[in-house]
Structure 1
C-alpha cells in the first residue's frame, strides 16, 4: 500500500516530539529528491506542466510563418539562445531543490533541438533540395527522410540532458522524435515511391523495437524513464498494426488476439498504457463485428453488454488481487525470460 506523506503530517510529528525541529524539512526534501515525480501532485505542478507544454507548442508545431521570414541565421541564434537559457535555468532550479520545474525546463530545451538543426541544415546548405519542404511547420505534417537528422539530434540532446537533469519527462520530446522517426524511415528504406503498406510495416517493426528497448530500461532506475518509451513504441506499433488492411476474418481475429496480448502485458508489467491500447484494439474489432458481421443480429448487443459487465467485474477483482495476478502470470514464463522483466512497481 502506498503511503502519502504531506507537510502537515511532518509538522504534527514535530509537535508530538517524533521529529526534532528542522528534521521535518530535511525529511521532506529527501523524499522529494528520491522520487520527485511521485510527490503530491499539487496545483502548482499542473501550472508547471501546462507552462512547459505552452512553450513547447509555441516554438514547435505552432511556430508561425512570420518566424520563417527572419531567416535561418536568426532562427539558429534564437533556438540556441532558448536552449542555453532553459538549460541553465533548469539546472539552477534543480540544484535549488525545485526538480519538477527544473526538469521541465530541461525538456523544453530538448524540444528546441529540431528547430536548431533545421536552421543549421538550411544555413549550411545541407537541406535536401528535392523534398519541396521549406517550412519548419512541415516537420509536424509530412513524412520525409530529410527530417531524420532533426530526430536523431533530438535523441542525442535528450540523452545528454538526462545526464544533466535526470527527470523522466525529458524523455517526452525524445519519444515524439522516435515516433516521427518510425514514419520518416520509410522513405529512407524504400525510396520516395514508398506506399502505405510499407509505411505500416516500418512503423510496426520500429515500434516493437522501441517497446523492447523500453522494457530493457524499465526498472533499472528509481525514476520511470520507460513510460514515454512505451508510449512512443505503442503509438508506432499499434498505429501500424491498426492501419493495416486485412481482407480475411482470420487476419482481423489475429488483430484482436494481439490486442488481447497487449492487455496481458499490462497485467504482466503493471503498465496501464498497454491496457489502454489493447482495449482500443479490441473495441475496434468488436465495432467491426457489430457493423459488418452481426449487423442483423438482435443478440449481439446483448452479448456485448454482458461481456462489458464481465469486464467490469474482472476489473474489480484485478484491483483487489493485482499483485497475485501479476505474479501468477510471471510464474508461467520460462525462468530464463523472467530476468528480462522489470520488478513490479508498487
Structure 2
C-alpha cells in the first residue's frame, strides 16, 4: 500500500543516512512544486471504464431489434470483426504500456462472445429456442437452458483472454456469464420454469460461492483479480438476500445480522466493498425499524438522520483505524483460518 511522503519520512531518511542533511528539505520543496496528477488520473480511469461499459451495453443488453433483422450471416460477421478489432487494439495498447485501456478493450471483446455464439447457432440450425423465446435481448432478462452454450463460450473466451491480457476487469463478463449459467443449469436440472423466489435463492448461493472463490484468489495473484469477483459475488448474494420476502421479525433481524457480518468481513479482509453492502443492509433494517416505531411521527426524519450520521461515523472510524481493527480481529482467529485469508499488501 502506497502513501504520500511527508517531512517526517524525509527526516527519518536523513537519520538513517539515506539522505544527506539538507537534502530532505530540498526534496520536500521539489515534491511540493509538482502538480497533483491524482485528479486527472482518476478522471482518466472513470472515462476508460465508462467508455468500456457503454460499448458493452450498446453491443449487449441494449442491442436493438433492428440488429436482429440484418441476418445471421451479417450478425456473426460483425460480431467476429468487432471481437478481432477489440482484441488487436487491446494487445497493441497493452504492449505499448497502457494496460488499463488495453485490458478494458479485452473485456469488451469477451462480452461480445454471446452475440457471436447466438448468431452461429441460428445460422447452423443449432439454436435450441424458437423465435418467441430466443431473441438475443432476452439473454440478459430471462432464465432459460438454451443460453448455456453462449455462457460457456464466454467463460472459455474470457480464460483465453486472461492468458493474453492478465487484467482483472476481464473477470467481470466471465462472472456475469457464470451467474446466468447458475440459473440456467439449475432450471435445466429441475426441468421446470423458475419463479422469482427460486431465482433469488440461486442468486444468493451463487454469490456466496463466488465470494468464497474470490477469497481463495485474494492475495495470491500479482494483480487484484479478486476485486471484481467480490463485486459480482456481493451483488448476487446481497441482491438475492435483500429481495427475499420475510414476514417475520426474526427473519428481518437475521438479515441485519448477516449484513453486520459483511461489515465485519470488510475489517477482516480490508475490503471496503463489504462495508458498503453491509452498511446499506443495516441502514435498510434500521430504517424499517424506525418506520415501524416512529410511523407518522415528527421523530421519523430525525431518526433517519441519526442513522445516516452513524453510518458516516462508522466509515470514518474504519478509515482511521483500519489497520488496528484488522490486526485485533485477526488476532482472535485460529492459525488455520489465518493461513486461508489473503495477505494485507494493500
Instruction: Give the TM-score band, short-chain normalised.
Output: 0.7 to 0.9
Secondary structure at the residue paired with 2:143? coil
Gap runs ≥5 in structure 1:
6-16, 18-37
SS in 1 for 2:66: helix
Task: Name the counterpart of 2:97.
Answer: 97
In 1, are the aligned partners of 2:104 and 2:169 still within 8 Å (CA)? yes
**Could you tell me whether the CA contact under 8 Å between 2:91 and 2:165 is conserved in 1?**
yes
Match of 2:271 in 1: 271
Distance 1:190 1:288 in 2: 36
Distance (Å, rounded) in 2 between the aligned partners of 1:163 and 1:122 = 30
Equivalent residues of 1:151, 1:178 under 8 A apart: yes
Report the TM-score when normalising by structure 2: 0.83
TM-score (norm 1): 0.83
Contact 1:182/1:236 (<8 A) preserved = no
SS at match of 2:222: coil
State whether structure 2 residue 335 is matched by structure 1 residue 343: no
Counterpart CA distance in 2 for 1:267 and 1:148 is 37
In the alignment, what sits opposite 2:157? 157
Cα 1:205–1:131 change in 2 (3 A) is farther
User: 1:240 and 1:50, CA in 2 relative to 1: closer, same or farther beyond 3 A?
Assistant: closer
How many Å separate the matches in 2 of 1:78 and 1:305? 52
For residue 329 of structure 1, what is the aligned residue in structure 2? 329
Q: Deviations over 1:3-52 (max 9, x none)?
A: 469xxxxxxxxxxx9xxxxxxxxxxxxxxxxxxxx997254444333332
1:166 equivalenced with 2:158 (yes/no): no
Structure 1 residues 252-290: Cα deviation after superposition (integer angstroms, max 9, x where no partner): 100110011011111111111111111111122123223
User: Counterparts of 1:240 and 1:45 in 2: how far apart (Å)?
Assistant: 30
Give 1:81-120 correspondences, 5 Å limit: 81-120=81-120
- 5+ residue gaps in structure 2? 6-22, 24-37
Distance 1:307 1:49, change over 3 A: closer
Are the equivalent residues in 2 in contact too, given 1:131–1:144 (CA < 8 A)? no
Deviation at 1:97, TM superposition (A): 1.3
Task: Identify the residue that residue 241 of structure 1 maps to in structure 2.
Answer: 241
- RMSD of the alignment, in Å? 2.6
Q: Equivalences for 1:170-319 in 2 at 5 Å? A: 170-295=170-295, 305-319=305-319
Distance 1:315 1:276, change over 3 A: closer
- Please give the alpha-carbon distance, in whole angstroms, between the structure 2 residues aligned to 1:245 and 1:310: 27
Mapped partners of 1:293, 1:191: distance in 2? 45
